[in-house]
Chains A and B, each alone.
Chain A
Amino acid sequence: DAKTTQPNSMESNEEEPVHLPCNHSTISGTDYIHWYRQLPSQGPEYVIHGLTSNVNNRMASLAIAEDRKSSTLILHRATLRDAAVYYCILRPFGFGNQGGKLIFGQGTELSVKP
């Protein structure tokens, strides 16, 4: 499985933007970049995903480097409810030979200060 590298933790102030980085230097051409987050004592929830172009949705934006070896999840205005562990995961197109398994790394624990 292609691996991702994320900082263990990050801090942010409420109402400020947050940029969560992810390195995936061994990404293949058919890997999608997915972001999930997990609030305390809950299952993960989908945040955003992309392939090559930058993506925006109501939760966040995803900026993908031109060489696709890194990406950044952007929360435009952090709120206290955004405090969670954020996971950057590579998933092959068509589920690949791993049967579509979603393998989680360690993620980044984001804390938001009021």
Chain B
Amino acid sequence: GAVVSQHPSRVICKSGTSVKIECRSLDFQATTMFWYRQFPKKSLMLMATSNEGSKATYEQGVEKDKFLINHASLTLSTLTVTSAHPEDSSFYICSARFHLLGQGAGGYTFGSGTRLTVV
């Protein structure tokens, strides 16, 4: 259980265009989702937290106008990279939080990631 499906797995786009990445929770309702980016040989860097029905909370240094996050339903969050440039090329990963019954600490499940290449 607690599976998150992320699409697309790979995308190549031209500089200046926008790209949308989708993250769906398949068998649970995800009130909170997280978006990360990861550069080669580096750790995951949290970009933003999205809560269903409200505005996303961005981490310091992340441009909210460039990385648009929408969490319109309990099963879908999207990240749109607007006016993409080569420096936006990265591995983007979504994550959803779910409740572990009786354990007091929630679990996190991750999408398989999206490799974005901007040319």
Contacts and interface: CB of A to CB of B under 8 A. Distances in A.
B105 A44 contact: no
Contacts of A36: 108, 110
A73 B110 CA distance: 20
Given A41-B113, A42-B113, A99-B57, A104 B43 contact: yes
Interface in B15-61: 32, 34, 36, 43-46, 49, 57
Contacts of B113: 41-43
Nearest to A100: B97
A95 B110 contact: no
- Counting chain B residues whose Cβ lies within 8 A of the other chain, the interface size class is 20 to 34
The SS class assigned to the B binding surface is strand
Interface in B82-118: 91, 93-95, 97, 104-113, 115
A85 B45 CA distance: 15
Bin the interface of chain A by size.
20 to 34
Interface in A52-102: 85, 87, 91, 93-95, 99-102
Contacts of B108: 34, 36, 46, 102
Contact of B110 (A43, A99, A105): A43
Contacts of B109: 46
B75 interface: no
A91 B93 CA distance: 19
Contacts of A45: 110
A102 B34 contact: yes
B6 interface: yes
A51 B103 CA distance: 10
Contact of A105 (B43, B95, B97, B106): B43
A42 B49 contact: no
A107 B94 CA distance: 19
7 contacts: A34-B105, A34-B108, A41-B115, A43-B6, A95-B97, A101-B34, A101-B49
Interface of B: 6, 32, 34, 36, 43-46, 49, 57, 91, 93-95, 97, 104-113, 115
